[in-house]
Amino acid sequence: MKLIVEQSAAHWYKSEMGLTDGESVRIYVRLGGCGSVHPGLSLGVTKEEPRNIGLRDDVAGITYYIEEDNLWYLENKSLRISFDEKYEEIKMTVE
């Protein structure tokens, strides 16, 4: 199980969220949305200090992480976060 944040996605987050080196982004399970793993649930992101890190990836000076109590969402798979150039949006893929 891994968290993989591609460089292009990391640069997009830095720009869109106004992130500076040393800050952290938490990826969490939220109610609603159109998640592909569990119906009625999806993943959200927020700028937040790390705690109870289950998975992490440090990219372009930013720590991206999922807390231990949200790892069940991935069902022992990996999460890849990429940037879709065509649609100019973030894509989260559980693989």
CATH number at residue 56: 2.60.300.12
- The CA-to-CA distance between both ends of the chain, in Å, stands at 9
Residue 41: how many other CB atoms lie within 10 Å: 15
CA distance 67 to 51: 7
How many domains does the chain contain in total? 1
CA distance 45 to 29: 9
Mean per-residue pLDDT over the chain, rounded:
93
Residue 36 has a pLDDT of: 65
pLDDT per residue over 26-58, tens digit each?
A: 999 988 766 666 667 889 999 999 999 999 999
Cβ–Cβ under 8 Å, residues 27 and 42: no
CA distance 52 to 65: 9
pTM above 0.85, yes or no: yes
